[in-house]
Amino acid sequence: MSLPRTNHWILGRDTAPLSGGYLPSLDPMNRQPWAEIAAGDANDVGDAVSAAHETFSSWRRTGPTQRANILWKLGDLIGEHAEQLAQLESRDAGKVIREVLTQQKMLSTWYHYYASLAYQLEGRQIPHEKDSLLAVTIREPYGVIGVIPAFNSPMLLASMSVAPAIAAGNTVVVKPPEVNSQSLYLLAKLATEAGLPPGVLNIVHGEGAIAGDALVADPLVRKVFFTGGIDSARLVTARAAQGLKQSVLELGGKSANIFFPDIDLDRAVDGVVTGIFAAAGQTCIAGSRLLAHESIADELVQRVAARAKTIRLGDPRDPLTEMGPMSQAKIYDGVVSRVTAAINQGAAVEAGGPEHLTDDGGWFFPPTVLDGIT
């Protein structure tokens, strides 16, 4: 039985990969392919960037009212298709439907906000000592912008760059994460429906080391936005530096929850649980460390562990599910390895842990709390 295929979106058209190759999109619930995405390479990226470059000259001259109207309409369409967008991301990456649906609905106002900013691209006059000189600044778009968002919230993370870039008169090429690509393809179709001219927003799927690298390296790309891990960011930055391109990086961190003796323990527990177990811990600001004053540490850990044991694992598209599977084998294996290493180094398991892993086919790891970390 053939799987549904998602192609590139280049110059306002559904475009098959030049190589004819496709990559499987795996369902984190069962680790089985449920769809296929185009396996883009440097040739596909080159076509998308060329389309964006050719469109830039006309789009940059498009007035702020037209750009604002298109972005506002796109925001409306995202709101109207929020359920469909959320279902795609939930199935592709295993995110709980309630969380991702909230993101999609919020993005409607995000595009409305940048629609309003299309009118604010103003320069300024700079005072000078001599009245015979006139110094002014003019804000101008860069040109083609390359955007590479992370797998955990591709619509949200891409839109953080796409909306302001388009509002300012730039054109964009997005390389979605290969494990969560479907929603951004739909975004491009919605943008076309909103009236965005062909070539202003282009989507090229593919692996990061191939399509992503080609996008950053393309000489017509003037600026790069990347969201992801530190190791990948080093490669992106080095590649961008070869072309003296500006790059904006949004990377993950080991965020700490720090609590003093005067806290409200009930509210603290809610914050800790939300901060680490939302999206199965797969967020750029996951509260993965808990640092507490010794006078409250034991009780706080016990309360967090007790709450973690009640978290409902299951199908992320079920509205009653509180935590879904992890998005991919690489992350799942990494969590198993790190938790096992911590236990071997003396950490105490207060909730979850590898001993509670189930062989149910999905990338499920139980909500885990470790105490006594060195």
pLDDT of residue 253: 76
Is pLDDT above 80 for 254?
no
The CA distances from residue 302 to 299, 306, 371, in Å, are: 5, 6, 10
d(CA 287, CA 221): 35
Cite the beta strand spans of 293-342 per DSSP E: none
Is pLDDT above 90 for 135?
yes
d(CA 287, CA 289): 6
Pairing state between β 125-126 and 135-136: antiparallel
Mean pLDDT of 267-294: 92
- Cβ-proximal residues to 7 (8 Å cutoff; 6+ apart), any chain: 14, 15, 16, 17, 38, 185, 205
Interval 187-203: pLDDT, tens: 999 999 999 999 999 99
Secondary structure of residue 158 in the 3-state scheme: helix
- The pLDDT mean for the chain works out to 95
- Exposed (0-12), middle (13-18) or buried (19+): which is 211, by Cβ within 10 Å? buried
Name the band, by pLDDT with cuts 50, 70 and 90, for residue 258. Answer: very high
Is pLDDT above 70 for 211?
yes
pLDDT of residue 1: 64
Is pLDDT above 90 for 167?
yes
Q: From the candidates 178, 250, 322, 355, which is the catalytic residue?
A: 250
Mean pLDDT of 130-142: 93
Is pLDDT above 80 for 324?
yes
CB atoms within 10 A of CB 41: 18
d(CA 320, CA 312): 8
Identify whether the C-beta of residue 317 lies closer than 8 Å to the C-beta of residue 96.
Answer: no
Mean pLDDT of 158-165: 97
Mean pLDDT of 246-254: 89
Is pLDDT above 70 for 14?
yes
Q: From the candidates 83, 89, 122, 284, which is the catalytic residue?
A: 284
Report phi then psi at 276, rounded to 5.
-115, -35
Report phi then psi at 79, rounded to 5.
-60, -40
* pTM score, whole prediction: 0.94
Is residue 284 annotated as part of the catalytic site, yes or no? yes
Name the token pair of 253: 């961190």
d(CA 277, CA 287): 9
Is pLDDT above 90 for 2?
no
Interval 58-115: pLDDT, tens: 999 999 999 999 999 999 999 999 999 999 999 999 999 999 999 999 999 999 999 9
pLDDT of residue 255: 87
Identify whether the C-beta of residue 205 lies closer than 8 Å to the C-beta of residue 6.
Answer: yes
Is residue 178 annotated as part of the catalytic site, yes or no? no
279-283, 309-313, 324-328: least confident range: 279-283
- Helical (H) or strand (E) element with 369: strand 369-371
Interval 337-365: pLDDT, tens: 999 999 999 999 999 999 888 777 899 99
